[in-house]
Chain A
Amino acid sequence: MTPPFKPALIVLALACGLAHAADEEDALDLKSAEPAPAAAAKAASGPRLTLELAALHARGQAGQGSDSGHRAAVDLRWTGKLNEQWRFGLSNRLDDIHPVLPGQRSTRHHLREAFLGWQSASGLQSVDVGRINQRHGPAYSYNPTDVFRRGATRSVVTADPIALRENRTGTFMLRASQLWDGGGASLAWAPQLTRSGRENSTFSLDLDGTNATDRVVLTVNTKASDRWSGEALWVVEEGRGPRLGLNLTGLVTDSAVVHAEWSMARSPRLIDTALGGAAPSARHHQATVGLTYSLPGGLSVTAEAAYNGAGLNRADWQQLFAQGPAPVGALFAATQADQEMAARRAWMLYATQKGVLWKQLDVTAFVRQNAVDRSHLAWAELRYHWPRFDLALQWQRGSGKADTEYGALPYRQVVQVVGFVYF
């Protein structure tokens, strides 16, 4: 180092040291303006009510016009304890959507959960009865082991697969669970409660979606180590063959988590179901593998690849679109309600960044690609937080030829502004 730089570096180092000392002095003078924590904790107990208001503008495919719409939703969640051993859960949502979605009502109530639960004094044994939202699988885009997802999503107000889970409806069931150190098991019986077809009244319980058949689900969880754990599932369902499932998660490094899901069962191909003809069952495998990597600045990126052996291959997509819009609509309606993956193969990149420019601003974005027809869907959200209010700007764009999964969406681009008021 040449001598003339030395004094400058010394001055810089001294200046930095003084600046840090001054910052520390300032930091030690800070005082919180918050109420006493005990009061805050008390205020937070009880039901949680959220009001959601949204306005959207949608641009149709080439040669088609644009549409505008708006919606409102009241969302209630309440989980509480009756005493040390008994607890209850209530969760419901009322949506009002304009314009009305095809085949649906503008105002729709969803009873997501209503259950009563008991647990032993140690908490190791528990029994729950009622409508319960039991979810399985660590994947983001497609959950082959989430055995209660079929027919459970009737309110689709976002393309974000994570946010969509919040609107999913539970299944009426009786469930018993046993925990032990490092693992647990549960047995759930979900009875058939309706034999009628699609219910579409404002206050429908959606039993045709969640409790259309008798099901028994056994799950066993175990922790191989602090870094690896897994779950095995066995499902017996009226009129279908047994389904086996496995999922696991692992901490690879302090920044990386891997996850995988696999399930196998005899089922009809989606193309056969959509076309309405004979739908013979065959053994199909479904799987998802993914990796989430987190950076110190708050950026978290997940890459996922998914496979559905019952999904559509290239020839199936061509056959489907050749039959006209009706079977295409039927396929999309069914896969949306079941959170099923229509394509044989797909991948997704999902990223979240907290505190962009301002601490209260979060960004979430994803790209999903149908790896068979190469169409893709991009979605991004900017969300700013206030203490009891969130404002989100969402953008969505589907790309692909007219005879592809995302190219066939009714709207090429959707922009939505959503406000969330938390009471």
Chain B
Amino acid sequence: MPDRPVHPTPCHPRWTRRQAGHALLVLTAGAAAWPATTLAAPDAQALLARSDAIRNPSQPFKVTVTLTEFEKGVQVNTTTLLSLARTLEAGGQFASLVRFVQPVRDAGKVMLKNGSDLWFYDPGTKSAVRIAPQQRLMGQAANGDVVTVNFARDYQATVAAEEAVRDGEKQTRQSYKLMLTAASSDATYGAIELWVDAESSAPIKARFFAESGRLLKTAFYRKFQPQLGVDRPTETVIIDGLDPKAVTLVRLSDYGLRNVPTSWFQRDYLPRFSAE
């Protein structure tokens, strides 16, 4: 793929894929020089899979998602959604059915994500519209923020470093920094930097990049609580890459097991989906 310049900003100098690759080499070299606490190099893909298993239950489940948006510290929007997610036989990636609960003007609208099959159903117009991953559905909440995704299915991971990182609770934790590059056409991001706990593999922090190399957002995973048998992050703080004063809190609550047929995850079922 040819190098493509990105829009330079004072705080985001021009990066190209080649430069990112160079940086990755440097970081990888740095990791090799690190006085390692373990004898064998960790398997990056296994770390990523373990991190996925902490973020997402392995069985079909339901969860309530609340997105609270802030602009310069002031709360400006709230969206509440009910989500059903399950892995499908083909590919093993999650498929999600998401029903809007709040704001009231959007109540009853449904989003479906099944790989690149992305649909939005509006009960007002009775129409199901295919949408592009880049298309925004409502306000500032990104589609990728509200659906369940296993990174290990769509990205190839390498260990870039073992380092101390500040987590979402402002504590310093020892971590592995993983470099994730898109390995499937369904991948939402061009690349991801993901810090996972050095002992538990729990996700701590992530930086998401567009294919152009532009930083899209930074996420902190925090408020770990036992949900469906595993300590999982119940809140994600998402900081916009271009405007760091634009912040979204994603809260996950009311986890429960809910097994629904795979045939529900298609356009024709959307008018009948209630999520209850």
Contact = CB atoms under 8 A, between A and B. Distances in A.
Interface stretch (B148-156, B191-199, B241-249): B241-249
Nearest to A33: B75
Given A20-B244, A385-B103, A44 B80 contact: yes
Q: Is the interface of A mostly helix, strand, loop or mixed?
A: mixed
Interface in A244-294: 249-251, 253-257, 259, 292-294
A40 B101 contact: yes
A250 B136 CA distance: 18
Interface string A294-311: 111010100000000000
B239 A295 contact: no
Contacts of B170: 25, 28
A30 B249 contact: yes
A128 to B, nearest CB: 9
Contacts, number: 207
B80 A41 contact: yes
Interface in B99-137: 101-105, 107-108, 114-118, 123-127, 129-136
A227 to B, nearest CB: 5
A359 B67 CA distance: 14
Interface stretch (B25-33, B46-54, B266-274): B266-274
Interface in A21-66: 23-28, 30-34, 36-38, 40-41, 44-45, 48
A223 B254 contact: no
B134 A87 contact: no
Contacts of B245: 23
Interface string A221-233: 1010011010000
A123 interface: yes
B104 A249 contact: no
B123 A226 contact: no
B153 to A, nearest CB: 14
Contacts of B251: 32, 37
B135 A422 contact: no
Interface size range on A against B: 35 or more
Nearest to A23: B244
Contact of B104 (A119, A177, A388): A388
Interface stretch (A100-108, A181-189, A393-401, A403-411): A181-189
A384 interface: no
Contacts of B162: none
Interface in A209-239: 221, 223, 226-227, 229
A117 interface: yes
Interface stretch (A133-141, A193-201, A334-342, A363-371): A133-141
B239 A124 contact: no
A390 interface: yes
Nearest to A137: B127
Interface stretch (B14-22, B37-45, B173-181, B256-264): B256-264
Contact of B268 (A27, A37, A177, A359): A177
13 contacts: A17-B11, A24-B166, A24-B244, A30-B247, A31-B249, A41-B101, A44-B102, A48-B107, A135-B126, A165-B127, A298-B140, A359-B77, A388-B103
